[in-house]
Amino acid sequence: MNGLLATLEPLLFIFISPLLAGWIKWIKCRLQNRRPPSLLQPYRDLAKLFRKTPVVASHASWIFEATPYILFASMLLAVAIIPSIAVHLPTASIADVIALVGFLALGRFFLILAGLDIGTAFGGMGSSREATIATLAEPAMLMGVFTLAMSANTTNLAIAIDYVLDSGLVLRPSFVFALAGMVMVAIAETGRVPIDNPATHLELTMIHEAMILEYSGRHLALIEWAGQIRLMLFGVLIANLFFPWGIAETLTPDALTKGLAAMLAKLMELGMLLATAEMMLAKMRIFRVQDYLGFAYLLSLLGMLSHVILEVG
Amino acid sequence: MNDLIHHPLEEQAILFIAALVIFSSFLMLAQKRLASLVNVFAWQGLLLALATALSAHTQQSPHLYFSAGLNLTLKAMLIPWMLSRLIVKLDMHREIEILLYPSITLTAAASLVLFSYYVVLPIEHLSTLATRNAIAVSLGVILLGMLLMVTRRQAIAHVVGFMAIENGLFFAAVSATSGMPMVVEMGIAFDVLVAAIIFGVFFFHISSSIDSLDVDRLNRLSENES
């Protein structure tokens, strides 16, 4: 039963993730007075890409062909350790949140290598930008996570969520700062508007798109899908760490249905917030990204400081 | 273990506001425009007034309501209003100050907060109030106000830093004991108000004699020296 759940839950997670991307696009179109594409459009795009034969440049090495699979597999592993519907999945106790950051970094590392592999100008440019953002975003994310870990005395996500559920509603300054820092990092890591625009292919501004410019067919489908999973992963992580109410604490069918409904409701709300925020913000110049991520790091650091100074002792 | 869960909601709220106060000090260090610097300063005054009113409620000491009101009118309204009027009059509201090493400044600020935490640790055991953890925050606000004065060149930013130091002292008084005696508090409040007025007069003198409020230019002895 447990093993079945542990495999079903990540599978459900990755099959819902294109829906979230479609939902955000749908909200954004409605806000801009355009007619939105169907919510299922991301699935159709993925299906179309999977049917096409990938074209690989003649100079490509094995890294180029292996990257989509490594990226997708690392996302799958990351999904497995995040408590999304139920807190105590057997897979959640295998690895902690530091391993989660490691999985995200592994996928990104190979994507950066693949961007450099072909030797086109855009690939190298995108890779260098992605590496810059990643080096600045990772300390901020780890610092935010450590703030939570210090409150809960664990780096395991399931136990941390248990702790938040048990203590009920407490006004914790450290959590608010960590939440703000994590949201800023999540926006940077998923390449959303103030940092990168997922909808554009304009040469000088793109980051993520520049790296995957040479991909086609099922390779591209896997990378796009991994991007959608990453978006949902950050959404679920933030929603469940800071607002875990509604998540299934036991593995009964009743609690699981409620957990699924709660997760979907939280994701819909986060998607609406994200789309509205993207409507109101303009993309930042690339050289201001370090200020943005420096601020995110400062917020996480303040979370840590306010935990040490104000909450214990 | 004295965890936050065991405090009543009002005390949690005071500690939460304390965190926001130190956050506003960090924001002040990062502001490039004088007008937004004064705005953040006004927000800090508002937060302090809120924290004071909440402590008046939890500590059952009604005289703190009076200090909260005094703080609200002076630090959150009157002085910011005077400063922003001064900025408009001196035609400086569009000026952007180039911050030297903003990231180093913020790192230094974070270390100063840590430093004040370690300095205050032995003092905290002497207080019996639940909000005594906020003493470290108030010392941090004082040190960050000094840092603001050290890193800026505009005279108005120096005044804001000075007022922020006073904010920190006031917050220390509220969080460590149940506020200062009324006479002392009123004396300080009017001192600050008078200081703000005198600073305003001085700004006009400085700017009419050297055409700028850049304090670096006050180091020069004569006009000929370049």
| Alpha-carbon span B210 to B155, nearest angstrom | 13
Confidence tier at B133 by pLDDT (50, 70, 90)? confident
pLDDT digits 0-9 by tens, A25-70: 999 999 999 999 999 999 999 999 999 999 998 888 999 999 999 9
pLDDT digits 0-9 by tens, B77-92: 999 999 999 888 888 8
Mutation site for A-interface testing, chosen from B7, B10, B12 by largest number of A Cβ within 10 Å:
B12
From B13, B103, B110, residue closest to A301, measured CB to CB: B110
| Alpha-carbon span A42 to A22, nearest angstrom | 6
| Residue B17: closest CA among B138, B112, B127, B114 | B138
State residue B1's pLDDT score.
Answer: 39
Residue B122, SS3? helix
From A167, A173, A291, residue closest to B19, measured CB to CB: A173
Q: What is the pTM of this model?
A: 0.89
Tally of domains in chain A: 1
Tokens of A236: 């679920």
Share of chain A above pLDDT 70, in %: 99
CA distance A164 to chain B (A): 11
From A174, A294, A309, residue closest to B133, measured CB to CB: A309
| Alpha-carbon span A157 to A144, nearest angstrom | 13
Chain-wide mean pLDDT for chain B?
Answer: 86
Rounded to the nearest 5°, which phi and psi values hold at A248?
-75, 125
From B30, B113, B134, residue closest to A305, measured CB to CB: B113
- CB pair distance less than 8 Å for B18 and A177: no
Residue A134, SS3? helix
CA distance A303 to chain B (A): 9
CA distance B179 to chain A (A): 19
Tokens of B78: 């009157």
What b-and-e string marks burial along B3-20, b requiring 16 or more CB atoms within 10 Å of the CB? ebeebeeebbbbbbbbbb
- CB pair distance less than 8 Å for B30 and A305: no
The mean pLDDT of A133-146, rounded to a whole number, is 92
- Which residues form the domain of A241? 2-311
pLDDT digits 0-9 by tens, B140-175: 999 999 999 999 888 888 899 999 999 999 999 888
Q: Could you tell me how many CB contacts below 8 A there are between chain A and chain B?
A: 71
CB A241 within 8 A of CB A266: no
